[in-house]
Chain A
Amino acid sequence: MRSFQYARPETLEELLALLHEHGPAAKLLAGGTDLMVRLRSGQSLPRVVIDLKRVKALRAEIVETDAGLRIGARTVMAGLIEDRRVRRHFSALVEAAGAVGSVQIRNRATLAGNICNASPAADTAPALLVYGAIANLVELGGRRSVPLADFFLGPGRTVLNRGEIVESIDVPFASEPSGAAFGRITRRRGVDVAGVNLCCLVKASGQTLFACGAVGPRPFLAPDLESLIAQASPISDLRSGSDYRLAMLAVLGRRCLAAAVSRLQLAMTAVEATCNR
């Protein structure tokens, strides 16, 4: 591995100043599960690696607010999966986080890192999209919030400015009962990068939301499967052919919809049971 300098700021201000100072020569290190691979292969050759894990203002915890859950920048996939509230409100996000790598990877990989890498195949992105997640960004000059639907620009590209980072991710509670399901297509059953991934959300009102990844330059959202498929522009690469990806998008869409509907029914039964009590 090529050498670099290692910085470990403890305050947000220090971190943002460092990022601003080094610009593209700096790489931000959270869980490292993507960055370390790129450092080893030489795809990424930063002058300085800035470890954000000791920045106290960036949280590893998930905080509940009136509107939803706020997931800190240092929250790892395992943290999401193990969190009772995430499991109750955002089961498809738990499914998606559970699909990321192995146990060892999920103990290190952060949700924020997963979206900041902006891989078209990022497994958590479709779930965050259907749940209407919002990324809270911070830079030296201030803060802003960006809906996840507007966050991704293309492979490895996001709306983040130079010196700007994701401070937390808000996932709002649903206003009505809903059911959601995540699915993916891989080359083997065990740990694999998704050839296609998809998340479907169905609300009691009958409204649906679909989001998918690996079938275009960025993960995206659509109100129904037809328009999702219409928006897809998959490429052929060594993982999948574009026609296969497109066909699998339809298969996953149908399967996830069916799973989401049955989960919605369960949720509604649960609501009824509560009301009748």
Chain B
Amino acid sequence: MQPLSVAVTLTVNGQTHALEVLPHHTLLETLRDGLGLTGTKECCGEGECGACTVLVNGRAINSCLMLAAEADGETIVTIEGLCEHTPTGGQAPLGRASLAGPIDNRPPVGNRPHIGPGPLSRLDPLQTAFLEKGAAQCGFCIPGMIMAARYLLMGNPHPTVTEIQDGLAGNLCRCGGYSRIIESVAAAAEAET
């Protein structure tokens, strides 16, 4: 007795998707498995770790605790669409790289050491700050951390350290990179003004 699937329309990172989802599928599963947006991560599955944080209608939520069916008609932003689809104080490109187009694979220039030509897309100031301050270690918590930080800055452009801690209290980092994460959020807030 398989329950009927539910037809939903999700607007994810500016793109509208008409999908058939099973009633018990979470938004997280739908993003990762249905849409291939694997930047959003799964760890605890019960809203304690924040690795699956995305924005739904501009609010940070744990996508493991939301059914895909519930998200019908909603606007969702994931780490993949962060820069283009969330209000920020300004889309700051990587300081040392000249970015002509959306994708730039040229090695970075300038004095600051930067290793490895990667898929340099336009970055959110938070992503730039996390990169430059070295907040990511293993990196698994980082997408969720950045989404929660973006939500914080949307409502509070100049958070204190305590406010940053409160805003990110639902995001666990087992590498223990918290102090760099706080620095990065503060730096991004600074960069946006």
Contact = CB atoms under 8 A, between A and B. Distances in A.
A191 B59 contact: no
A4 interface: yes
Contacts of B62: 33, 104-105, 108
Interface of B: 2-4, 6, 22-24, 26, 45-48, 50, 53, 59-62, 64-67, 69-70, 72, 148, 151-152, 166-167, 169-171
A108 B63 CA distance: 11
A104 B170 contact: yes
B23 to A, nearest CB: 4
Given A3-B2, A40-B46, A107 B60 contact: yes
Given A4-B3, A102-B170, A49 B23 contact: yes
A142 interface: no
Contacts of A8: 69, 72
A51 B69 CA distance: 9
Of B23, B65, B171, chain A has the most CB atoms within 10 Å of the CB of B65
24 contacts: A1-B26, A3-B24, A4-B24, A6-B6, A6-B23, A6-B24, A6-B67, A29-B70, A32-B65, A32-B67, A32-B70, A33-B65, A36-B47, A36-B65, A36-B66, A49-B67, A78-B59, A103-B148, A103-B152, A103-B166, A104-B60, A105-B47, A105-B62, A105-B65
Contacts, number: 90
Interface string A22-64: 0000000100110011011100000001010100000000000
B23 A33 contact: no
A104 B69 contact: no
Contact of A104 (B24, B50, B72): B50
Nearest to A7: B23
Contact of A53 (B2, B6, B48, B70): B70
Nearest to B29: A1
Please provide the 5 A-B residue pairs with the shortest distance between their CB atoms, ordered closest to farther.
A102-B170, A6-B23, A36-B65, A107-B59, A37-B46
A210 B22 CA distance: 46
B60 A103 contact: yes
Contact of A108 (B2, B4, B65, B171): B65
B167 A191 contact: no
B56 to A, nearest CB: 8
Contacts of A2: 24
Nearest to B58: A107
A147 interface: no
B95 to A, nearest CB: 29
Interface string A68-107: 0000000000100000000000000000000001111101
A107 B53 CA distance: 12
A206 interface: no
